[in-house]
Amino acid sequence: MKVIRIKKEKVVIFDTTLRDGLQLTQASLSLEDKVEIEETLDYLGVDYIEAGFPMTSEYEFLKVKAVADSVKSQLL
């Protein structure tokens, strides 16, 4: 009897939707939109989420912080 072992590899998903997914359209996402998208990406099992450019403006900083806080609250 021959045993064949299949190497299982994990696919790592790195999402940049919140960072630059809308740059070409010059649209922006609200704080609530970003948190909702982050929660959906997390639910789908995305491993890494780039939340935005916090140094762009104070409002962008607050949006990125809200996404990070949402992730932290889901880990508790």
**Mean pLDDT, residues 6-13:** 80
Q: For the segment 20-47, what is each residue's pLDDT rounded down to a tens digit?
A: 766 666 777 788 888 898 889 889 988 8
- Number of domains observed in the structure of the chain: 1
**Are 28 and 56 spatial neighbours (Cβ–Cβ below 8 Å)?**
no
Q: Which domain holds residue 56?
A: 14-75
> Residue 2: inside a domain, yes or no?
no
Query: Could you say which DSSP state residue 7 is in?
Result: P
Any domain includes 61? yes
The alpha carbon of 1 is separated from its chain's Cα centroid by a whole number of angstroms, namely 46
- Terminal-to-terminal C-alpha distance of the chain: 48
Residue 4 has which token pair? Answer: 């064949």
Identify the sign of the CA torsion 34, 14, 11, 72: negative
Biggest alpha carbon distance in the chain?
A: 65
Q: Any idea which of 3-7, 31-35, 39-43, 61-65 has the lowest mean pLDDT?
A: 3-7
pLDDT of residue 31: 85
